Amino acid sequence: MNSQIFQIATILLQFWTQASLSDPNIIKILGQNGSWWAEEGTEYDISNCNSSLTHTRDGNITKLTMNGKCANFYAAENCSGWFIRLVTNQLGGLIFKPETFRWPGGEISKSQMQAASVGPCFDKCDARNWLGDKKGLVKVTLYEGTRHQGTNTTIIIDGDGCFLIPRELVGFESIKISGDENCCIELHSSANCGTDSTQFRPGYPELSHLWVWGLGGERTFASSAKAISRCGVYCNKSVSDVNRIGEYGFLGDNIITVYDQPGYYDSDHVSLVVPVANEKNQYVIAVDKTIQVMEWDGKSKVPEKVKLLYTGEEGMPTNKMNDGKCDAKGRLWAGSMVEVDPTKGLEHARKGALHSFDDGVAKRHVDGIDISNGLAWTADNSVMYYIDSYSGVMDAFDFDLEKGALSNRRTAFDFKTSGATGLADGMTIDANGNLWVAFFGGNGVMQIDPRVGKKIGFVKTPASRATSVAFGGPHLDTLYITTGSCFLPTDNAEDFGPADGQLYQAVNVGAKGLGSGVSYAGKI
């Protein structure tokens, strides 16, 4: 309540004090020898360097009036050396006795803001903004309340990724930056780190009242930021180059945010997990419409850390990634699906797509997909088989392994004429070139010879909803089958029993797997 009263009072004073600041390049600075309630301060034009500041004693600032324009405040004269890049929003530009904050050894250290000269800001992509940053680990703690009080969480910035701020913390009111004196972070207005942002360092003012700060636009507020990155990482990137993630309104109501001491994990729907080649405890996962990499020991209830790699579904708020796996080059292939309301039947929305992800590049290969599912490659990597569940068929493509390219799409098998029930889901291939397809609602796995389009076998499961299948065991001759249980809106829990939602193994199926799974070999 006190914070709200303070903000309201400051806004009222803003209109009174800033009436004369019709030019956004004009700011007013009142030094320590002034009376903040009686004097407005000296005007400075920040379109040029003001090599020294008058009417200040020891550089201390008693009152600062800005109008939403960015300015560099230097500790030395002639606009040289270390500086504070201050961006206020239009309503937060009246600051009384601004305090700066540092955390040497983890303990807070406050002092009154000082400045010996002031001038225009550099472009936010100018490397002078983060000069001296050693790119070391930075701990950023966000507080629900002002003055570093209330519920808080710490996000570890330890790489060049876009680190999401958990949804319930959007609207935080103060921030702590624990790192090297010259470390530099950016708060971004969008969850993709690709739009308006403001840079912060230890030693900056008003970190205990973050609502004063803007996000590159005069009417934006830093406290509404949705993501954090190192300074400069997302400079000069077009939207398509930026690691994208759907805006918060698209992620659904059942977001689960799990916090642990070294970081955080924000997820809703995880659909695939692939090990990273030559990296211990590293896995590529699909989360909603994104591809992320997580570090996990295989035992803990939460991962050590998670970092965003790609997003494949721009402009598709109801889409999410589904099945996927890697080709022989370690290139990840994954497709998407649209959320379908089962109460309306099988709506052919055809808004999904099949993508590949490799070394920082995401490619869209096939459009018009309903539910992207099973993938498999022949032993010589010349053919890729693919299932769009609602299509009722399995497709084959000529496959160029070196280029990661598809061509000559054709139907390899027609599920509609095979007597199958349910929807074709995940699949694998055996050493003989035959495919094994799990059937959601079909009580098992169908064996198919795709070269002649013929069903040659079926493995029945106790559960009706087989979801995916893979060969494993010491000799790759055990067929492992995952199944689903009650989760659709039209499901009745009493229709499902202990057999549903289990992992099954089938032995003596007369086949062996083509080989062990391929790990992701792209950049992380």
Residue 108 · residue 148 · CB < 8 Å: yes
DSSP assignment string, 108-137: -EEEE-B-SEEEEPPPTT-GGGGTT-----
Determine the Cα–Cα distance for residues 36 and 112; give it in Å rounded to an integer: 14
pLDDT at 95: 84
Angle at 467 between CA 465 and CA 320, to 5 degrees: 115
Confidence of residue 85 (pLDDT cuts 50, 70, 90): very high
Determine the Cα–Cα distance for residues 133 and 139; give it in Å rounded to an integer: 14
Determine the Cα–Cα distance for residues 245 and 188; give it in Å rounded to an integer: 13
- Write the burial class of residue 375 (CB in 10 Å: 0-12 exposed, 13-18 middle, 19+ buried): buried
Mean pLDDT of 317-335: 90
What's the one-letter identity of residue 153?
T
Determine the Cα–Cα distance for residues 44 and 46; give it in Å rounded to an integer: 6
Average pLDDT score, the chain = 81
DSSP 166: P
| 180 in catalytic set | no
Mean pLDDT of 405-432: 93
Confidence of residue 520 (pLDDT cuts 50, 70, 90): very high
Residue ranges for the binding site for a divalent metal cation?
A: 373, 425
Mean pLDDT of 281-305: 84
Residue 111 pLDDT exceeds 70: yes
Look up residue 487 and give its two tokens: 């989760």
Residue ranges for the binding site?
A: 322, 373, 425
Residue 400: closest CA among 332, 453, 450, 329: 329
| CATH superfamily label, 2-241 | Crystallins (2.60.20.10)
In this prediction the pTM is 0.53
Highest-pLDDT range among 104-113, 123-132, 264-273, 397-406: 397-406
Ranges in the chain annotated CATH 2.120.10.30: 248-506
Residue ranges for the binding site for substrate?
A: 322
Residue 58 · residue 32 · CB < 8 Å: yes
Confidence of residue 168 (pLDDT cuts 50, 70, 90): low
Residue 240 · residue 281 · CB < 8 Å: no
Q: Residue 357, Cβ neighbours under 10 Å: how many?
A: 24
Look up residue 117 and give its two tokens: 């000269």
pLDDT at 217: 58
SS3 at position 204: coil
Mean pLDDT of 134-148: 88
| Three-state DSSP string of 370-417 | CEEEEEEECCCCCEEEEEEHHHCEEEEEEEECCCCEEEEEEEEEEHHH
CA dihedral over 263, 266, 267, 273, signed as positive or negative: negative
CA distances 466 to 114, 270, 437, Å, are 67, 18, 9
The CATH fold assigned to 248-506 is Neuraminidase (2.120.10)
Confidence of residue 18 (pLDDT cuts 50, 70, 90): very low
Ranges in the chain annotated CATH 2.60.20.10: 2-241
Residue 246 pLDDT exceeds 50: no
Check 370, 425, 430, 477 and give the catalytic one. Answer: 425
CA distances 82 to 25, 106, 116, 182, 245, Å, are 22, 22, 11, 9, 35
Q: Judging by DSSP bridges, how do beta strands 71-74 and 61-65 pair with one another?
A: unpaired
Mean pLDDT of 373-382: 95
Cα of 121 vs its chain's centroid, Å: 29
- Write the burial class of residue 453 (CB in 10 Å: 0-12 exposed, 13-18 middle, 19+ buried): middle
Residue 176 pLDDT exceeds 70: yes
Mean pLDDT of 425-442: 94
- The single residue listed with the structure tokens 């600032």 is 61
- Above pLDDT 70, what percent of the chain? 81
SS3 at position 282: strand
